[in-house]
Structure 1
Amino acid sequence: MPRFLLVVFLSLLPVLCLAQQPVEVWTYHLTPPFKVNASQGLSQDFVDLLNNDPANAGRFRFQLTELPRKRLDLQLERGSPGVLLWATPQFFTAELTANARWTQALLHDQQSFVSLPDLAFEYDRPRSLKGLILGGVLGYRYEGLEKEIASGAIRRQNVHTDLQNLQKLLSGRIHTLLIAQSTLLYYRQSEKLGDLYISEKPLYQFTRHLLITNNLGKAASDYLDGFLAALPSNPHWQIILNHYGLQSMAAHD
Structure 2
Amino acid sequence: MRLLFIAWLLSAAAHAGEPPLRFSVSDSWGMPMMQIDDGRATAGILYDLQARLAQKVGRRAEQLVLPRLRVQRLLARGEIDVRCYVHPAWLAEPQRGYVWSVPFMVQQDLIVGRWNAPELRPEHLEGERLGTVLGFRYPRLERLFASGQVQREDARTQQLALEKLDAGRYRYAVSSHLALDWFNRQQPAGQRLKALQQIAADPISCLIRDAADVPTRALLRALVQMKQNGELEAILARYR
Pairwise TM-score range, normalised by the shorter structure: 0.7 to 0.9
Name the counterpart of 1:112. Answer: 110
The answer to whether the Cα contact below 8 Å between 1:81 and 1:216 also exists between their aligned partners in 2 is no
CA–CA separation in structure 2 for the residues paired with 1:137 and 1:81: 23
Matches within 5 A, 1:10-159: 16-21=13-18, 22-28=20-26, 30-38=29-37, 39-53=42-56, 56=57, 59-80=58-79, 82-93=81-92, 96-124=94-122, 127-130=123-126, 132-146=128-142, 148-149=144-145, 152-159=148-155
Q: TM-score, normalised by structure 2?
A: 0.75
State the superposition RMSD in angstroms. 3.2
Give CA-to-partner distance per residue, 1:11-42, whole Å, 9 cap, x none.
Answer: x7786133332222223253222322322222
Bigger CA drift: 142-151 or 14-23? Answer: 142-151
* Percentage of identical aligned residues: 23
Q: 1:161 to 1:60 in 2, by over 3 A?
A: closer
The answer to whether the Cα contact below 8 Å between 2:184 and 2:193 also exists between their aligned partners in 1 is no
Name the counterpart of 1:230. Answer: 225
Name the counterpart of 2:204. Answer: 208
2:202 is the alignment partner of 1:199: no
The answer to whether the Cα contact below 8 Å between 1:108 and 1:208 also exists between their aligned partners in 2 is yes
Bigger CA drift: 176-185 or 164-173? Answer: 164-173
Task: Give the residue type in structure 1 aligned to 2:125.
Answer: L
CA–CA separation in structure 2 for the residues paired with 1:91 and 1:49: 25
The alignment partner of 1:222 has SS state of helix
Structure 2 spans left out of the alignment, 5+ residues: 1-8
Bigger CA drift: 74-83 or 96-105? Answer: 74-83
CA–CA separation in structure 1 for the residues paired with 2:237 and 2:49: 13
CA–CA separation in structure 2 for the residues paired with 1:161 and 1:77: 24
Give CA-to-partner distance per residue, 1:41-80, whole Å, 9 cap, x none.
Answer: 2222122223444xx4xx3222212232332222232234
Name the counterpart of 1:249. Answer: none
CA–CA separation in structure 2 for the residues paired with 1:93 and 1:161: 20
The alignment partner of 2:36 has SS state of coil
User: Larger Cα Rg: Structure 1 or Structure 2?
Assistant: 1
Task: Give the residue type in structure 2 aligned to 1:44.
Answer: Y
CA–CA separation in structure 2 for the residues paired with 1:69 and 1:161: 11
Bigger CA drift: 40-49 or 101-110? Answer: 40-49
CA–CA separation in structure 1 for the residues paired with 2:23 and 2:162: 31
1:186 deviates by 2.6
Structure 1 spans left out of the alignment, 5+ residues: 1-11, 246-253
1:112 deviates by 0.8
Q: Aligned to 2:182, which of 171, 183, 186?
A: 186
CA–CA separation in structure 1 for the residues paired with 2:108 and 2:80: 29
Count of aligned positions: 225
1:82 deviates by 0.8
CA–CA separation in structure 2 for the residues paired with 1:15 and 1:168: 49
Give CA-to-partner distance per residue, 1:232-251, whole Å, 9 cap, x none.
Answer: 24455433212222xxxxxx
CA–CA separation in structure 2 for the residues paired with 1:136 and 1:229: 32
The answer to whether the Cα contact below 8 Å between 2:22 and 2:64 also exists between their aligned partners in 1 is yes
1:231 deviates by 1.3
2:164 is the alignment partner of 1:165: no
Name the counterpart of 1:9. Answer: none
Q: TM-score, normalised by structure 1?
A: 0.72
